[in-house]
Chain A
Amino acid sequence: MLTSKTFLRKTKRGNVLKIVREHYLRDDIGCGSKVCKKCAILVEEQEAVLDDQLPDALSKAYKNPHYLIVDTNVVLHQIDVLEADVLCNVIILQTVLEEVKHRSSTIYKRLKDIINDKRRKFYVFVNEHHKDTYLEREAGETANDRNDRAIRVAVKWYDLHLSASQAHVSAKKRIRIVLLTDDAANCEKATKEGLFAASVEDYVCCLKDSKGLEDKISRSESHFDEGSKEIFPCHLTPVQIHDGVKSGKLLQGSFQASRENFLEGQVSVESFEKPILVQGYDGLNRAVDGDVVAVELLPEDQWSAPSEIVLQNDEVEDEEEIVEKVLKVETKQEKTPTGKIVGIIRRKWRQYCGILQHNALQNTTRHIFVPAERKIPKIRIETRQAPTLMEKRIIVAIDSWSRYSRYPSGHFVRALGKIGDKETENEVLLLEHDVPHSRFSEKVLSFLPKLPWIITDEDVAKRTDLRHLDVCSVDPPGCTDIDDALHCFQKPNGNYEVGVHIADVSHFIRPGTALDDEAALRATTVYLVDKRIDMVPDLLSSNLCSLKGGEERFAFSCVWELTPNAQIVGTRFHKSIIRSRAALTYEEAQLIIDDDKQQTSVAKSLRGLNKLAKVLKKRRIENGALVLASPEIRFYIDSETHDPIEVQAKQIRETNSMVEEFMLLANISVAEKIFAEFPEHAILRRHPIPPPSNFEPLVKAANYLGFEMNTNSNKELAESLDAAVKEGNAYFNTMLRILATRCMLQAVYFSSGVVTKEDFYHYGLAVPIYTHFTSPIRRYADILVHRLLAACIGADVTYPDLLDKKKMNNICHNLNYRNRMAQYAGRASVALHTHIFFREKVQNEEGYVLFVRKNALQILIPKYGLEGTLYLYPPKGMKQEVSFVYNEENHTQSYKNIVFHMFDPVTVQLTLDRSNIQHEKLVFKLVKPFIPNFSVSSIDEESKENVTRVEENVSEECGDKAGTSRNPVVLQQMKRKDEDFRSKDSSRKKKHKK
Chain B
Amino acid sequence: MDLVSDQGLRIDGRRPKELRKIRCKLGVFAQPEGSAYLEQGNTKVLAAVYGPHQVRNRSKALHDAAVVNCQYSMATFSTFERKRRPRGDIKSTEMTLHLKQAMQASIKTELYPYSQIDIYLEVLQADGGNYCACVNAATLALVDAGIPLKEYVIGCTASLGNGDVPLIDVSHLEETMGGSNLTVAVLPLSGQIAVLEMSQKFHVDHLSLVLNEALDGCRRIYEILNDTVKNHLSEIGAISGWGKSDL
| Residue in chain B with minimal CB distance to A807 | B163
- The stretch of A357-365, A797-805, A834-842 in contact with B is A797-805
| Residue in chain B with minimal CB distance to A101 | B1
Task: Give Cα A806–Cα B20 distance, bound, in whole angstroms.
Answer: 28
Q: Is the CB of B6 within 8 A of A115?
A: yes
B202 to chain A: which residues have CB within 8 Å? Answer: 800
A112 CB–B CB distance under 8 Å:
yes
- The stretch of A18-26, A434-442, A559-567 in contact with B is A18-26
Q: Is the CB of A129 within 8 A of B9?
A: yes
A302 CB–B CB distance under 8 Å:
no
Task: Give Cα A778–Cα B11 distance, bound, in whole angstroms.
Answer: 39
Q: Is the CB of A22 within 8 A of B20?
A: yes
| With A17-B80, A17-B81, A799-B203 as contacts: A26 and B163 at CB distance below 8 Å | no
| Residue in chain B with minimal CB distance to A98 | B5
Task: Give Cα A129–Cα B13 distance, bound, in whole angstroms.
Answer: 6
Q: Is the CB of A800 within 8 A of B164?
A: yes
A15 CB–B CB distance under 8 Å:
yes
Distance between B158 CB and nearest chain A CB, rounded to angstroms: 15
Distance between A805 CB and nearest chain B CB, rounded to angstroms: 9
Distance between A46 CB and nearest chain B CB, rounded to angstroms: 8
Of B7, B41, B173, B179, the residue contacting A124 (CB under 8 A) is B7
| With A2-B14, A124-B6 as contacts: A22 and B42 at CB distance below 8 Å | yes
A220 CB–B CB distance under 8 Å:
no
How many A-B pairs have beta carbons closer than 8 Å: the answer is 70
Q: Is the CB of A2 within 8 A of B80?
A: no
Chain B facing A: main interface SS: loop
- Residues 174-216 of B at the A interface (beta carbon under 8 Å): 179, 201-206
B179 to chain A: which residues have CB within 8 Å? Answer: 804, 806
Task: Give Cα A115–Cα B7 distance, bound, in whole angstroms.
Answer: 11
| With A15-B81, A124-B7, A804-B179 as contacts: A24 and B12 at CB distance below 8 Å | yes
Chain A contact residues (Cβ within 8 angstroms of B): what range? 20 to 34
B171 CB–A CB distance under 8 Å:
yes
- Residues 159-177 of B at the A interface (beta carbon under 8 Å): 163-164, 171, 173
- Residues 182-197 of A at the B interface (beta carbon under 8 Å): none
- Residues 798-848 of A at the B interface (beta carbon under 8 Å): 798-801, 803-804, 806-807
Task: Give Cα A20–Cα B77 distance, bound, in whole angstroms.
Answer: 13
Q: Is the CB of A126 within 8 A of B5?
A: yes
Q: Is the CB of A803 within 8 A of B203?
A: yes
B21 CB–A CB distance under 8 Å:
yes
Q: Is the CB of A23 within 8 A of B7?
A: no
Distance between B129 CB and nearest chain A CB, rounded to angstroms: 12
B18 to chain A: which residues have CB within 8 Å? Answer: 2
| Residue in chain A with minimal CB distance to B1 | A101
Q: Is the CB of A126 within 8 A of B171?
A: no
A45 to chain B: which residues have CB within 8 Å? Answer: 8
A24 to chain B: which residues have CB within 8 Å? Answer: 12-14, 21
A600 CB–B CB distance under 8 Å:
no
Distance between B18 CB and nearest chain A CB, rounded to angstroms: 7
Give the residue among A115, A129, A797 with the most B Cβ atoms within 10 A: A129
A6 CB–B CB distance under 8 Å:
yes
A4 CB–B CB distance under 8 Å:
yes
A115 to chain B: which residues have CB within 8 Å? Answer: 6
B21 to chain A: which residues have CB within 8 Å? Answer: 2, 4, 22, 24
- Residues 861-914 of A at the B interface (beta carbon under 8 Å): none
Of B13, B41, B80, B205, the residue contacting A800 (CB under 8 A) is B205
- Residues 1-30 of A at the B interface (beta carbon under 8 Å): 2, 4, 6, 15, 17-26
Distance between B95 CB and nearest chain A CB, rounded to angstroms: 22
Q: Is the CB of A126 within 8 A of B7?
A: yes
Chain B contact residues (Cβ within 8 angstroms of A): what range? 20 to 34
Distance between A44 CB and nearest chain B CB, rounded to angstroms: 13
A799 to chain B: which residues have CB within 8 Å? Answer: 203, 205
Of A20, A798, A806, the residue contacting B203 (CB under 8 A) is A798
| Residue in chain A with minimal CB distance to B12 | A22
B7 to chain A: which residues have CB within 8 Å? Answer: 94, 124, 126
Q: Contact mask A27-70 → B, CB, 8 Å, 1/0?
A: 00000000000000000010000000000000000000000000
Distance between B17 CB and nearest chain A CB, rounded to angstroms: 12
Distance between B232 CB and nearest chain A CB, rounded to angstroms: 22
B205 to chain A: which residues have CB within 8 Å? Answer: 799-800
A800 to chain B: which residues have CB within 8 Å? Answer: 163-164, 202-203, 205-206
A112 to chain B: which residues have CB within 8 Å? Answer: 6
- Residues 46-83 of B at the A interface (beta carbon under 8 Å): 80-81
Task: Give Cα A236–Cα B13 distance, bound, in whole angstroms.
Answer: 37
Give the residue among B5, B18, B20 with the most A Cβ atoms within 10 A: B5
Distance between A792 CB and nearest chain B CB, rounded to angstroms: 16
B171 to chain A: which residues have CB within 8 Å? Answer: 21-22
Q: Is the CB of B12 within 8 A of A21?
A: yes
| Residue in chain A with minimal CB distance to B82 | A15
| Residue in chain B with minimal CB distance to A128 | B13
Q: Contact mask B113-138 → A, CB, 8 Å, 1/0?
A: 00000000000010100000000000
B42 to chain A: which residues have CB within 8 Å? Answer: 6, 20-22
Task: Give Cα A605–Cα B74 distance, bound, in whole angstroms.
Answer: 71
A807 to chain B: which residues have CB within 8 Å? Answer: 163
Distance between A39 CB and nearest chain B CB, rounded to angstroms: 14
| With A798-B203, A800-B206, A804-B179 as contacts: A23 and B6 at CB distance below 8 Å | no
Task: Give Cα A19–Cα B128 distance, bound, in whole angstroms.
Answer: 13
| Residue in chain A with minimal CB distance to B205 | A800
Task: Give Cα A126–Cα B14 distance, bound, in whole angstroms.
Answer: 12
Task: Give Cα A94–Cα B125 distance, bound, in whole angstroms.
Answer: 29
Task: Give Cα A4–Cα B13 distance, bound, in whole angstroms.
Answer: 9
Task: Give Cα A799–Cα B42 distance, bound, in whole angstroms.
Answer: 35
Distance between B236 CB and nearest chain A CB, rounded to angstroms: 28
| Residue in chain B with minimal CB distance to A5 | B13
B204 to chain A: which residues have CB within 8 Å? Answer: 797-798
Task: Give Cα A800–Cα B202 distance, bound, in whole angstroms.
Answer: 8
| Residue in chain B with minimal CB distance to A14 | B81
B20 to chain A: which residues have CB within 8 Å? Answer: 22
| With A124-B6, A800-B163 as contacts: A25 and B13 at CB distance below 8 Å | yes
Q: Contact mask A69-98 → B, CB, 8 Å, 1/0?
A: 000000000000000000000000010000
Q: Contact mask B5-36 → A, CB, 8 Å, 1/0?
A: 11111011110001011000000000000000
Task: Give Cα A806–Cα B180 distance, bound, in whole angstroms.
Answer: 12
Q: Contact mask B90-125 → A, CB, 8 Å, 1/0?
A: 000000000000000000000000000000000001
Give the residue among B18, B42, B203 with the most A Cβ atoms within 10 A: B203
A124 to chain B: which residues have CB within 8 Å? Answer: 6-7
| With A126-B7, A804-B179 as contacts: A22 and B163 at CB distance below 8 Å | no
Distance between B121 CB and nearest chain A CB, rounded to angstroms: 21
Task: Give Cα A834–Cα B171 distance, bound, in whole angstroms.
Answer: 60
| Residue in chain A with minimal CB distance to B160 | A800
Q: Is the CB of B173 within 8 A of A803?
A: no
Task: Give Cα A65–Cα B5 distance, bound, in whole angstroms.
Answer: 30
Distance between B119 CB and nearest chain A CB, rounded to angstroms: 27
Q: Is the CB of B81 within 8 A of A23?
A: no
Task: Give Cα A18–Cα B125 distance, bound, in whole angstroms.
Answer: 12
Q: Is the CB of B203 within 8 A of A22?
A: no
Q: Is the CB of B12 within 8 A of A803?
A: no
Q: Is the CB of A22 within 8 A of B6?
A: no
A94 to chain B: which residues have CB within 8 Å? Answer: 5, 7
Task: Give Cα A15–Cα B13 distance, bound, in whole angstroms.
Answer: 28
**Which chain B residues have a beta carbon within 8 Å of chain A's beta carbons?**
5-9, 11-14, 18, 20-21, 41-42, 80-81, 125, 127, 163-164, 171, 173, 179, 201-206
Using A19-B80, A20-B42, A799-B203 as known contacts, list a sample of 6 further A-B pairs with CB atoms less than 8 Å apart, ordered by residue number in A: A2-B14, A6-B42, A22-B13, A24-B12, A124-B7, A804-B203
Across chains A and B, which 9 residue pairs bring their CB atoms closest together, nearest first?
A800-B203, A24-B13, A129-B13, A22-B12, A17-B80, A4-B21, A22-B41, A126-B7, A800-B206
19 A-B interface contacts by CB (under 8 A): A2-B21, A4-B21, A6-B42, A17-B81, A18-B80, A20-B125, A21-B42, A22-B12, A22-B42, A22-B127, A22-B171, A24-B13, A24-B21, A115-B6, A126-B5, A798-B203, A799-B203, A800-B164, A800-B206
